[in-house]
Amino acid sequence: MEVVFKETRLSPEDIFEKAQEYFGTKYGLSQVDKTDCCIEFRSDVGFVNVTVETSETPNKVSIRSREYEGQARAFIKKLD
Please state at what angle helix 69-78 crosses helix 12-19, rounded to 10 degrees. Answer: 140
Would you say 53 and 38 are in contact if contact means Cβ atoms under 8 Å apart? no
Taking only the tens place, the pLDDT of each residue in 8-63 is 999 999 999 999 999 999 999 999 999 999 999 999 999 999 999 998 889 999 99
> Residue 56: its pLDDT value, please?
83
Report the number of distinct structural domains present in the chain. 1
pTM of the model: 0.95
Closest CA to 73 of 5, 23, 15: 5
Q: Across the beta sheet with 2-8, what order do the strands follow?
A: 2-8, 59-66, 47-53, 38-42, 30-34
Q: Which domain range does residue 72 map to? A: 2-78
